[in-house]
Amino acid sequence: MHSKPIKILLIEDSLEDFVIIREMLRDTNNPFQLEHADKLKVGFEKLFNESFNLILLDLNLPDSYGFDTFIRTYDQVPELPIVILSGFNDEDVAIKAVREGAQDYLIKGEIDGKLLARSIYYAIERKEAEKELMKTHNDLRKLISWHEVELKEKEEEIASLIKEHENAEVKLINAISNIKIEKLKFDFLIDQLPVGILVVDAVSGEPISKNKKFEELSSEFVEIPEILEVCPYKGFYPDGSPYKSEDWPLMRSIVMGEEIEDEKIIVLKNDGTKSVISNSSIPIKDDDGQIIIGMSIFSDIIED
C-alpha cells in the first residue's frame, strides 16, 4: 500500500462515471485525492490553481471532443501523466493519444479499482522515467554541444598554430636566404682584404668563413692537423717556446672572451724558414651576451 497522497484530477462530464470512479479508488485503500471537473475549461482552471500528480481524462466533453481533447490537455500540462478514459466508440482515438504522449488508456465498463489504481501508479512511474530520460537526453545534448564548441575552438586554435608555423617557416626560409646572400657579400668583401680572415663557430670550432689571403697563408705555413680550426699553424713565442692550443688568440677569444690586438707569433713555414705574423682576434656575442663566433685576422710581417 502506498502512503504518499496522490492528487488526481478527473475531467469527466458524466456525474455517474465520476461517482463510479471515486468509489473504485476509495475501495483500493490507496491515498488517492480525487477532484472533478465536468468540462475541459474547468479542468484547465483547476490545473492553473492547484497541483496534481495525474489526470484522468475523458475525451468526449461538452467543450471538447475526441483526440483534440487530449492534444489541448497535453499542451497545457505536458509534465503531468495523462490516463485516457475511453468509450468503445473512440478506442482508436485513445490509442492514438497514447502514441502521442498519454501514459495509458482505459475503457469504461471494463475496469475495476485494482486495475485503475495499478494504471495510475504505472502512469506516474512511466512519466517520471520519461522526464528522467528527457533530462538525460537534454544533458547529453548540452554535453555534445559543449564538446562541439570546444572542438571547434581547438580546430581554430590548431588552424591558427598551423598558420603561425607556416608564417614562421616562410620567415625562416627568407631569413636563411638572406643569411646566404649576406654571407656571399661578406665572403666577397673579405676576399678583397690584404689580410687573412678566419671566422669560426664558438661552440664547435668549425670554420664559417675563410678568405683567399688566409688560404694563401695556410698553404705556406706548417699546419697542425689536430688543432687546425682555431690555431692552424705551428707557432712559437719570441723566446722559442711553442704555442699550446689554448694559447692561440682565437681560442682565447671564443673561450675566455678576450679581445686580442696585433699579437706577434713566430710560425714555421713549409720550406723550413720562419715568419712572424700579426694575429688579432675578437669574440662576437649574441643579444644575451653569449659568445657565438670568433674572428681572427692574420697578416704576414717579415721572414726570419
DSSP, collapsed to helix, strand or coil, labels residue 107 as: strand
Using DSSP bridges, classify how beta strands 82-86 and 291-303 pair: parallel, antiparallel or unpaired: unpaired
In angstroms, how far apart are the furthest CA atoms of the chain?
Answer: 141
Per-position pLDDT tens, the chain of length 304: 456 789 999 999 999 999 999 999 998 888 999 999 999 999 999 999 999 999 999 999 999 988 899 999 999 999 999 999 887 667 677 778 888 889 998 888 888 999 999 999 999 999 888 888 888 877 778 778 787 777 788 888 888 888 888 888 788 777 777 767 777 777 777 788 888 888 888 888 788 888 888 888 777 777 766 555 566 677 888 888 888 878 889 888 888 899 999 889 888 888 888 888 888 899 988 888 898 988 888 887 765 4
Q: Residue 86 to residues 46, 48, 115, 187: CA-CA distances in angstroms? A: 22, 25, 15, 103
- Domains of the chain by start residue, with CATH: 6-137 (3.40.50.2300), 193-303 (3.30.450.20)
Q: C-alpha angle 154/157/161, rounded to 5°?
A: 135
